[in-house]
Amino acid sequence: MADIQQSIRDILIAIGEDPDRDGLQKTPERVEKALRFMTQGYQQSASKVIGDALFQETHHNMVLVRDIEFYSMCEHHMLPFFGKAHVAYIPGSRIVGLSKMARVIDVFARRLQVQERMTDQVADALVEELAPRGVGIVIEAHHLCMMMRGVEKQGSSTITSAMRGAFLSDASTREEFLRLVHSRAR
């Protein structure tokens, strides 16, 4: 713990701040606590968060959970990126508790990340844990590394996708998924 706090203190000094001034005295401790929370995905796995929430079921149609909010940190600048994930699968012989799909997103979002890798990690983890007929993931995110610095494009967003199984091999399944993801009529 002391290493992170000392490093934050050193950073404050390096940027010209006084880490002993009133508003900054507890900043190293707060930053460490925040970093540990925002990177807790390193201590988690999809298998553990899904646990025993797998159920035998004969449902063989698409299951979609959309608009799953997430927050992550860009590994290049350690600045946040955030957005929504849309996750679908076509069950093989079992279904998963719906909240577990959001938890799997967090396993990978709560690490230093790039959106492209995170999208693939979620898809691959669901394939491994659920053995579904297919998985489709779309992630839409806003990256503060593009918005606050560099090109400073506040209106920009990044969309990534990963398709496995039927979502990759069957164009009509993929089209149905994408239509449902982008449909805003509720």
- Burial class, 139, CB count within 10 angstroms (exposed 0-12 / middle 13-18 / buried 19+): buried
- Active-site pick, 5, 113, 115, 121: 115
Chain position carrying tokens 């000392």: 6
Q: Which helix (H) or strand (E) holds 31?
A: helix 27-38
CA 140 to CA 105: how far, in whole Å? 13
Is 74 considered catalytic here?
A: yes
Is 44 considered catalytic here?
A: no
- Active-site pick, 74, 86, 121, 129: 74
Collapsing DSSP to helix, strand or coil, 161 comes out as: strand
Query: Which residues sit opposite 113 in a β-bridge?
Result: 74
Query: Which residues sit opposite 141 in a β-bridge?
Result: 83, 158
Query: Residue 173: how many CA atoms within 13 Å on its side-chain side?
Result: 21
Is 43 considered catalytic here?
A: no
Is 75 considered catalytic here?
A: yes
- Active-site pick, 29, 44, 77, 142: 77
Is 59 considered catalytic here?
A: no
What the block records as the tokens of 90 is 């076509």
Is 60 considered catalytic here?
A: no
- Active-site pick, 40, 76, 116, 128: 76
- Active-site pick, 57, 69, 75, 175: 75
| Residues known to be catalytic | 74-77, 115, 143, 145
